[in-house]
Each structure stands twice: as structure tokens, then as C-alpha cells.
Amino acid sequence: MSKLVVYAIGGNALDSPNNKEVTDSSLVLAKVMSDVVDLLEAGWNVVLTHGNGPQVGHLMSLDSSQSMDSWVAATQGMIGHSLSLNLDSILRKRNRPESTAVVLTRVEVDPEDEGFTFPTKPVGPILTDKQVMSEDWDIAQTVNGPRRVVASPLPKHIIDINVIRELSSKNAIVICSGGGGIPVVRSGPYLVGVPAVIDKDYVSSLLAVELNADALVVSTAIDSIRTDFGLASEKVHQKLTLQEIKIFESAGQFPKGSMGPKVSSMADFVNKLPNSKAVLCQPGDAIKALRGMRGTTITVA
């Protein structure tokens, strides 16, 4: 049977705002598509997830009256559609047998999650002084300036996992769980959307676990996991064990607003599926990263 990889594309990586080597988002997208084809040709089945931070923030700034779960659903559809069109065109040119499937994915969260009490997830652009004073939002000061923050509960279960699993078993390249999935809670026999944005990295890890994936690839704008970032003592890590990650996390090396969720979610995946592999790399380096030649690999020991 083919091996299965969950490939997580960062919303910021697609827009490439911080990657000095890649200034054109279309080039980043081309590298992502190249990764997918390389994985297919190496015998992997591929499930794609993606971020939506810049996109959902932009839409929310245009119309704050729409419910947040609806905007997450909208950006899932828009980004999934774009990825699907690009990938299908490449597959036809390469005479590949696979096709794509976009699944608007609902993710169950706990209504009592403390994330609803303490909103921490930045969304949207930097706010003006006028917006800070006039808007009825939760606002926090980030490294770049004041931004709106929303609830970010942990994911419990991917509602549409059986659909995703079935499509993947039919050799479809499934594009799903975009932007962390559409957050829902159970209310009796019903599912109800809630105003939150689930972290994409935690959902990608949960998806990989529920699919019993052989690998999780986190593709982002930075080439590897680093400690002492930005200091003279900065170190690039080609490999990290779970124990090393615990030590570095305790020392505050992986901030919650940047590398923290990526490292934590990758470690959780490896901890739950110790025979699988988790790697972080830049777009275009997926195969080399899985072979240990690029990026950072997280191992049990």
C-alpha cells in the first residue's frame, strides 16, 4: 500500500511576507505544487491542509458582521479551489492519474475550552489607533502592533474524517481542514458553528493521527527549526528529539505566536505515532526533508 503524508501549507508561506528569498507568492505556490508532484512520484498519497490567516483576516476587516465560522468556511473554499485548479493542471500535464478533492472540513471543539475565555489568536491586519478605540473587539499588542484576537480552542475531532479517508484511499489528493477547519460544537444532536479560529498546525497533527499517516510535513517560510533565533548563538537543528523539545519549550525557545504551535503539534504527532515521521521545511524541500537532507526532523529519541 502507498504511504500517506499530510502536507501542511502555511497561509503566510503562500503569501510569503517574511521570506526574503521568495518575494513572489506565485513562486511559493509553484514550489508547493512541485512538492506534491514529487511526493506522488515517490509513491506517497498526499492530503493537503493550509492556513488562512491573511485571507480570513482580510475578509473579516471588510465585513465584521458575518460569523467567524462562515469566514473560515469561505476561505477554505477559496483557497482550496485555487490549489485544486493549479494542481489539476499540473497533474494533467504530467499525465498523472490522480485528481483533487476539496472538502470543507468541520472540526469539533470543546465549548468549555479556555480558549473561549482568553482569546489569543491574532487575525486580520494591524489596527489603527481609531480602530483600537472604536471597535468592540478583543485586541492584543503583537510584535508588529495591535491586532484583533479571537478564541483559538484546541481541536477534539475532525467531523469529516471518514470522507477524507475514503477519498484518499481512492488516490484523490484531498485538500481539507483549511485554516484549522470550521469550528463547531455539539448541541444535543446538532452541530453548531462557533466564533473561533483553530490553529492550523494542531489540526494538521490531529488529521495526521486520525488518518494514521506515515508522515507529517509542515511547510513554512523558514527552512528549519532554530533556537536562540536572531541571536549570535542561533542554532539550526537538523534533528530534534521529544526530550530536547521539552527542554527547549521550558526555556521559552518556541514562542506561542510563531514556532510554538508547529513544534508542539509535530511533537504530539510523533509521540502518538512513534513509527511515523514529522518534518518542517520550506516549500520545495519536502522530499529532501523526508530523506533527512533538508529542514528539521522530529524523532522519538
3-state secondary structure of 50: strand
In percent, the amount of the chain with pLDDT more than 90 equals 71
Rounded Cα gap, residues 17 and 25, in angstroms: 9
Catalytic residue among 80, 178, 262, 295: 262
Catalytic-residue membership of 10: no
pLDDT score of 17: 41
Catalytic residue among 53, 121, 124, 180: 121
Q: Is residue 142 part of a domain?
A: no
The two most distant CA atoms of the chain are separated, in Å, by 58
pLDDT digits (tens, 9 = 90+) for 32-85: 999 999 999 999 999 999 988 777 877 877 777 788 899 999 999 999 998 999
Catalytic residue among 200, 277, 284, 295: 200
Q: Is residue 167 part of a domain?
A: yes
Least confident segment among 3-17, 22-36, 49-63: 3-17
Number of C-beta neighbours around residue 177 at 10 A: 31
Rounded Cα gap, residues 53 and 59, in angstroms: 10
Q: Is residue 136 part of a domain?
A: no
Number of structural domains found in the chain: 1
User: pLDDT tier at 15 (50, 70, 90 boundaries)?
Assistant: low
Catalytic-residue membership of 200: yes
For residue 174, the 8-state DSSP code is: E
Catalytic residue among 3, 12, 171, 271: 12
**pTM of whole model > 0.85?**
yes
Whether 294 has a pLDDT exceeding 80, the answer reads: yes
Burial group, residue 125, by CB count within 10 angstroms (0-12, 13-18, 19+): middle
Q: Is residue 230 part of a domain?
A: yes
Burial group, residue 139, by CB count within 10 angstroms (0-12, 13-18, 19+): middle
Catalytic-residue membership of 121: yes
Q: Is residue 96 part of a domain?
A: yes
| Grid cell locating 249 | 519549550
Q: Is residue 182 part of a domain?
A: yes
State the CATH number of the domain containing residue 245.
3.40.1160.10
pLDDT score of 124: 74
Least confident segment among 123-127, 249-253, 263-267: 123-127
Domain that holds residue 193: 3-120+152-299
| CA 141 vs CA 77, 134, 144, 146, 266: distances in Å | 30, 16, 8, 4, 27
pLDDT score of 54: 72
Q: Is residue 125 part of a domain?
A: no
Q: Is residue 241 part of a domain?
A: yes
pLDDT digits (tens, 9 = 90+) for 137-189: 888 888 788 988 889 999 999 999 999 999 999 999 999 999 999 999 999 99
